[in-house]
Amino acid sequence: MMGWMAPLRHLGAKMPVGQKPPANREPSMNEITTVGLDLAKNVFQVHGVDAEGTTVLRKQLRRAQVLAFFSRLPRCLVGMEACATAHYWARELRTLGHEVRLMPAQYVKAYVKRNKNDAADAEAICEAVARPTMRFVPAKTAEQQAAVLLHRGRERLVRQRTMLVNALRGHLAEFGVIAPQGLRNVGRLIAIIRDEKDARLPGLARQVLQVLAVQIEQLEAAIAALEKQLMGWHKSNPVSQRLATIPGIGPIIATAIAAMVAEPSGFRSGREFAAWLGIVPRPNSTGGKNRLGGISKRGNQYLRRLLINGASANLLRSKATNADPWVIGLRRRRPSLVVAVALANKTARIAWAVMHRQENYQRMATAA
């Protein structure tokens, strides 16, 4: 029996070229050159390959084990999806000496070879991060993330205030009490609610409406406090101050751009930056015919909304006598919303140039 088993032992002595190592094989840390890290709340998935792209590691890590594991690895390339907590882990792993690259999740999806699970996602990340044409997301600093948090908190409070104000207006309209649109006229409604002599509101309704009025005032105070903190950050941040020199950009928009655009050099041009914001026409080409539709609405929705709203407000405030001749000509040919989007696009391109060149905005002189 031993005689005919010997050839089988001989065949099993060498692993065929390209075959993956057994799952129970303990990989050598020195073999790993690229790692795909699938982030999670508690259990992380790691996929590592060597210089030839051969898989040498598939491993699950508890959250508390992540930093200890990467501290034992030699310097390598680590890829992650730009999702929740990704910027924190990018900073931590860079501190350990690794090269960390973040990628949009939609770009990684194309590299998933089988049914979606953590192991497949980590393998896809590991493959995508090594692609020469992959687009990466710059990791934010802790200071930038803190400023982003201020904006997110303010945005949430503004939405809640809008919801309560609309509810207050709707309820009062049922009793014939109305006021002109605008936040500045909400105070007039609150005064009516608190006027016990106003017979239009029944006592029971007045009690409910007073609760809403108190909540609106509390939100107003909270929003004002966050805006004060944003103003303080704006004064201490040179990028935000340079952006505020651009017409149509105030402290809110300036701090948002400075906080959410970690590295302006990641964009090759102002048009590429505007495309990232989703305020460029969406192409639809077929049969040799090039057609442009509405804006793509991709990328950072918050910045896009701020820029378009800021452009709309700027158009309302500006007068034909001192407005940009380009804007005046566009107004004659296009609807107001289209003009606002075009102005937001132009503002975004100028913002990129200001950040890229690290200089204040200078208006070009126009011929008299």
Say what the pLDDT of residue 346 is: 92
Q: What is the DSSP string of 138-164?
A: PPPPHHHHHHHHHHHHHHHHHHHHHHH
Sheet harboring 77-81: ordered strands across?
Answer: 55-62, 43-49, 34-38, 77-81, 99-103
Q: Is the pLDDT of residue 323 over 90?
A: no
Q: Does the structure show a pLDDT above 60 at 136? A: yes
Taking 3-state DSSP, the helix, strand and coil percentages for the chain, each rounded to the nearest 5, stand at: 55, 10, 35
Domain boundaries, the chain: 26-128, 142-236, 239-357
pLDDT higher than threshold 60 for residue 72: yes
Mean pLDDT across 106-116: 89
Least confident segment among 56-70, 254-268, 330-344 = 330-344
Check the CA dihedral 102-107-109-113 and report its sign: negative
**What angle do the packed helices 203-236 and 186-194 form, to 10 degrees?**
140
Predicted confidence band of residue 116 (pLDDT cuts 50, 70, 90): confident
CB 259 within 8 A of CB 269: no
- For residues 193 and 347, what is the distance between their CA atoms, to the nearest angstrom? 43
Element (H, E) at 80: strand 77-81
Q: Tell me: pLDDT of 288 over 50.
A: yes
Q: Band of the pLDDT at 2, cuts 50, 70, 90?
A: very low
- The answer to whether the beta carbons of residues 249 and 243 sit under 8 Å apart is yes
- pTM of the complete model: 0.79
For every residue of 286-298, DSSP letters joined together read BTTB--EEEE---
Helix (H, G, I), strand (E, B) or coil at 28: coil
Separation CA 245–CA 247 (nearest Å): 6
For residues 16 and 213, which has the higher predicted lDDT (pLDDT)? 213
Burial class, 60, CB count within 10 angstroms (exposed 0-12 / middle 13-18 / buried 19+): middle
Domain boundaries 26-128, CATH class: alpha beta
Q: Does position 32 have pLDDT exceeding 80, yes or no?
A: yes
Confidence of residue 161 (pLDDT cuts 50, 70, 90): very high
The token pair that represents 248 in the structure block: 């149509």
pLDDT band at 262 (very low <50, low <70, confident <90, very high): confident
**So what's the pLDDT on residue 287?**
64
Q: CA-CA distance, 127 to 111, in Å (whole number)?
A: 7
Q: Is residue 366's pLDDT more than 70?
A: no
In 174-250, alpha helices (H): 186-194, 203-236, 238-243
The mean pLDDT of 170-191, rounded to a whole number, is 92
Rounded CA gap, 299 and 281, in Å?
A: 13
Q: Cα(first)–Cα(last) distance of the chain, in Å?
A: 104
Can you tell me the distance from the alpha carbon of 301 to that of 262, in angstroms, rounded to the nearest whole number?
16
